[in-house]
Structure 1
Amino acid sequence: MGASNLLPLVVLFAVVGGVAWVGYQILLYTNELAERGLHKLEKKNVVFTKDGAKVGVKEISAEKYADQTQRAFVKTWNAAQDGGAQAVRSRTK
């Protein structure tokens, strides 16, 4: 009589243990996914802190920035100077 009363208790512990093991495996997998996601975002210069997300900007040297700005200014200037004449020539062709 004593052994037959223990069988449901053993089955209960086995089921609860199985569910706990599956839950633990899900927890490990979700933590791994979160780590992979954070690692990918860090590669893209996005960092999460307790204050929020910080987005980093790739640095550019002052000389390169000045060259790009000057090149854009010169192109705009030339387009403004030649824009009327080019528009008339393209319409007459």
Structure 2
Amino acid sequence: MSRRCELTGKAVLTGNLVSHSNRKTRRRYLPNLVNVTLTSDVLKRSVKLRVSANALRTVDHRGGLDAFLLKARAEELSQKAVELKRAVQKASTEAAAAA
């Protein structure tokens, strides 16, 4: 399982740990990933995703998983999230056509 957020694409960064004596050693900056279950209002089902804590805040800010997926670019989403985005787009257009 890769250390990458499924919604924002946040991944591991590398850099230097610089000591007081200015010695530099390589280190890894890991994203704060959590396993969450998010519910889709349009699809009326739950989805398990591995996302960063920052992405959770963004999902809440944008008004839920469906709004986040509709606004997100496909390049930064995981394959699972891209398929979910397509399903949300299809369901929302069908709901708009029926109304």
TM range (shorter): under 0.3
Normalization by structure 1: what TM-score?
A: 0.25
The answer to which structure has the higher strand fraction is 2
Normalization by structure 2: what TM-score?
A: 0.24
The answer to which structure has the higher helix fraction is 1
